[in-house]
Amino acid sequence: MRSIIIATLLVGGSLMAADSVKANDSGSFSEKGIDGAVLYGKNCAICHGKKAEKSPEAGIPPLASRDATRLALTIRAYRDQDKNIGTYTMHKSSEVMQNQTVKFSDRQIGAIAKYISGLK
């Protein structure tokens, strides 16, 4: 019995340690409490790859390490379906990507773009 309690305490302690490492890792990409790494992992990684290394469709190269500002503007163009904002309108009509981006604020998109841009 005693050893079970000790084992539980040990496991609990190491989980807590893992959690705090995670917070530090992704914290460097967070902007006012918004965590780009978490948002990307939950909403984008399935198609674009865990490290943004995948091509989601023929002709669409991986997103990793692209310029953060361009990424943010492209993502916003999908979200807003805006046909009138210059070069950032490419792919604007993708329904897939509009569905993926419609729920995000500008700040959230900024954090996601920064995170993707930092991936290698």
Buried b (16+ CB within 10 A) or exposed e, 53-82: ebebeeeeebbbebebeebbbbbbbbbbee
Residue 99, token pair as written in the block:
């569905």
Does 89 participate in binding ligand HEC (rule CB under 6 A)?
no
Site for ligand HEC in 69-88 (CB under 6 A): 71, 74-75
Residues 1-30 that bind ligand HEC (CB under 6 A): none
C-alpha 115, offset from chain centre: 6
Choose, by CB under 6 A, the member of 50, 96, 105, 106 that binds ligand HEC: 96
* Structure token pair of residue 75: 């993502």
- Is 119 one of the binding residues for ligand HEC (CB under 6 A)? no
Q: Which is nearer to ligand HEC, 14 or 105 (CB)?
A: 105
Contact status: 112 vs ligand HEC (CB under 6 A): yes
* Cα angle 53, 58, 63; round to 5: 30
| Site residues (vs ligand HEC, CB under 6 A) | 43-44, 46-48, 56-57, 60-61, 63, 71, 74-75, 90-91, 94, 96-97, 100-101, 112
